[in-house]
Structure formats: structure tokens, C-alpha cells
Structure 1
Amino acid sequence: MPTAQEMLARYGDASSCLKHLERSRRELLHLVETLSDEQLFQRPSAEVWSPAEVLEHISLVEESAGKIIRRLRRVGLGEAEPFPPSPPGQTRPDGRPLAPPLMEPKGGLPRAALLERLQAVRERVLAEVAESGERLPHPPTYAHPFFGDLTALGWLQTLVYHEQHHLRQIQERLGA
């Protein structure tokens, strides 16, 4: 069984990650375009997020990871202090990870606001990756709640995994 870091490493370097992210975002946006408002905003069940809530969650996670990538760059340059330790991730009884409370969607965002938020957050992440450049794969690290200590590149790789995971999840729930 591969380790978390080995699993993330399959997404490759920053250039490869950016290609994966571009492709998954294109697929995600295309899927959203095909959904009626009812399909986008309706929860399959009380405890399962609607596709709109999943989109909000993706943007929350991506925004957080972008801030972590920036902070890791600044720590590496001696411009910021390291992060305090992060709490470990929580899992459901079936072993699936639970989103930390700050990454849970609040709901209520209209389609246009969701799409604008996804775009704005992605632009900030791309800027952070560009600014980090050659430093991405190098220490310092910060612990991901489920994947352990990761460099900025590792955090970028988690974004690839995360968006692809939720894209498949939405597709499966919709039978797409």
C-alpha cells in the first residue's frame, strides 16, 4: 500500500499539477454548466452535500492551501514564523475523511457567486505557485490533516487529488 506522499507524488511536479488542475477544472465547470439549478442545489440526502456545496468546499480548501503555500514560501525565506501544529484529521466510522469545520460549506451561494469564487481562488493559487517557483518542492513543510508533512508542492498535489475526487463524486451522484 503506497504512503500518502507516494500517492500524491503520482501527480508530479508543479507543471504537471497545474495541467491536472486545468483539466479537472475544465471538466468541473463543464459539468456545472449542464446542471439545472435543481440539480446543482439539491442535496441527495440530508447528510450529503449538494453539488453547489461541494463546489464551495473545493474553493474553501483551495483558498486554504494557497495560503499555506504562501506561508511556506515566506517561512523558507525567513520572512515568517513556522505554523503551529495542525490538529489531525477526523474520519467517519467508515474511515472516510471528514472536512474540518472551517472547510465545510455554508451553502446559499448562487451559481454565479460559486463560479466567481472558484475562479478567484484558483487565480490566487496560481499566483502563489508562480511566486514560489523553485522553492515548491523544498522544505519547510506543514502537516496536512490526512497526508502528513508536506512541502508546498505536496500541498499543490493535494489540490489535484481533492478536485479530482470531488469531480468524480459529483459525477457518480448524478449518474453522469
Structure 2
Amino acid sequence: MTSNILQDPATLRALGETPADVQARLTRELDAFGEALQSREGDWQRQQPGRDWSPAQETEHVMKVNGAVASVLRLLLSDRPLRPGEQATGELRDGKRQAPVATMPSETGISWAEVEAQWQANRAALEAQAAQVRETPGRTVWHPFFGELDALDWLRMGVYHIGHHRRLMAQSAPNMEPSA
């Protein structure tokens, strides 16, 4: 079954009230995700039980979303005019949010040989934008699952996304328990 759904962006507030709170949570999620990657070399390219992707693909997807979040933050924090864009709602299939096409991983995902350097560069770019985040009332960009979000809510969404995929990878890892 396929349907469209918009969620209340207020649910993102649990990830932090202030920019400093959300930035600290981002650091914790990035640390935890990066740490989780270290144990996955043995099954890096293997599709995970109950999942459509391998850890390589999951990581590539998270990095694509992180890059998109950094770009949206850069725009929202700038003086550049915002152009109206498409306001399509995200797709929900069998109770799961579906990744927008632009954030889908490649068939093989990121290679193990490249993941550490690319993860660190991706992280640095996101953290650089996050360090400047503030609320931007009146300056919003559409998100397919939450609707119009300002810069602080976009950062909250990014934090949520990283943690969500870290927990999914932990659930599929051999002998690992997902943490909150």
C-alpha cells in the first residue's frame, strides 16, 4: 500500500530546544553513527535482514541527506532570495518513509576503502553549517515529510535522520543492540 503523509514538525523539538542543544545532539549522533560503521566491514556490502540496503548503501544515503541538509541550511542562513519549489509530500509504503530519488544510494553504496575519508568530509560540512544555525522565522524550505521547516528544524530533522538510520543499522548488525 502506498500513501502520502505529512508529520507534525513539532515532533522534532524533542531533539533540542535551542540551536546549541541541537548542535550537541548532532555531534552525539554523528559520533555514534561513525563508531557504528567501524564494526561493519565484514558485512559492508551485504543486504541486511529486514532491510532493502547494505550498510554501504545505508551510509551513502545518510551522507546524501547530510549533504542536502547542509545545502538547505546554507540557503536558509543566507540573504539569498528563496524561490518557491515543488511541495510534494513524501511517500509512505508499508508504514515506512521512502527516500526521495535524489537521496537513494547507488547499487553498491560507498566503498569500504573510501568510507572513512568521505564520512569525515561529509560530517565536517554538516557541522560547519550547523554551527551557524539559528531560527529563521519566515525563511523556510519544504520538507517532503514535515512541510515547511526553518533552519533550526532542518537541523533537527538531520539529527533525527542520522539517529534513525544508526538504529536501523544496529538492529541488523550481528550481536548488536540498538541504543536510544
In the superposition, the TM-score normalised over structure 2's length comes to 0.83
1:17 corresponds to which residue? 22
1:57 corresponds to which residue? 61
Unaligned runs of 5+ in 2: 1-6
> Per-residue deviation at 1:116?
2.1
Q: Please identify, of 160-169 and 100-109, the stretch whose mean Cα deviation from structure 2 is larger.
A: 100-109
2:115 corresponds to which residue? 114
The separation in 2 between residues aligned to 1:81 and 1:157, in whole angstroms, is 20
Aligned partner of residue 38 in structure 2, secondary structure: helix
1:128 corresponds to which residue? 129
Tell me if structure 1 keeps the 8 A contact 2:66–2:122: yes
Q: For each residue in 1:110-138, what CA deviation from the matched residue of structure 2 results, as whole angstroms up to 9, or x when unmatched? A: 2242222222122122222334x44x343
Q: For each residue in 1:45-66, what CA deviation from the matched residue of structure 2 results, as whole angstroms up to 9, or x when unmatched? A: 6961011111100000010111
Select the structure that is richer in strand: 2
Distance 1:108 1:54, change over 3 A: closer
The separation in 2 between residues aligned to 1:103 and 1:159, in whole angstroms, is 13
Tell me if structure 2 keeps the 8 A contact 1:137–1:154: no
> Per-residue deviation at 1:144?
0.5
Please list, as runs of the form range in 1=range in 2, the aligned pairs for 1:40-119 lying within 5 A after superposition. 40-44=44-48, 48-74=52-78, 77=79, 79-92=80-93, 94-106=94-106, 107-119=108-120
Identity value in percent:
26
Size of the aligned set, in residue pairs, is 167
1:157 corresponds to which residue? 156
Q: Which runs of 4+ in 1 moved over 3 A?
A: none
1:169 corresponds to which residue? 168
- Which of 21, 28, 32 is residue 27 of structure 1 equivalent to? 32
Aligned partner of residue 91 in structure 2, secondary structure: coil
- Structure 1 residue identity aligned to 2:82: E
Unaligned runs of 5+ in 1: none
CA RMSD, Structure 1 to Structure 2 (Å):
2.0
Aligned partner of residue 142 in structure 2, secondary structure: strand
Tell me if structure 1 keeps the 8 A contact 2:60–2:109: no
Q: For each residue in 1:44-91, what CA deviation from the matched residue of structure 2 results, as whole angstroms up to 9, or x when unmatched? A: 2696101111110000001011111111122xx2x2332413322111
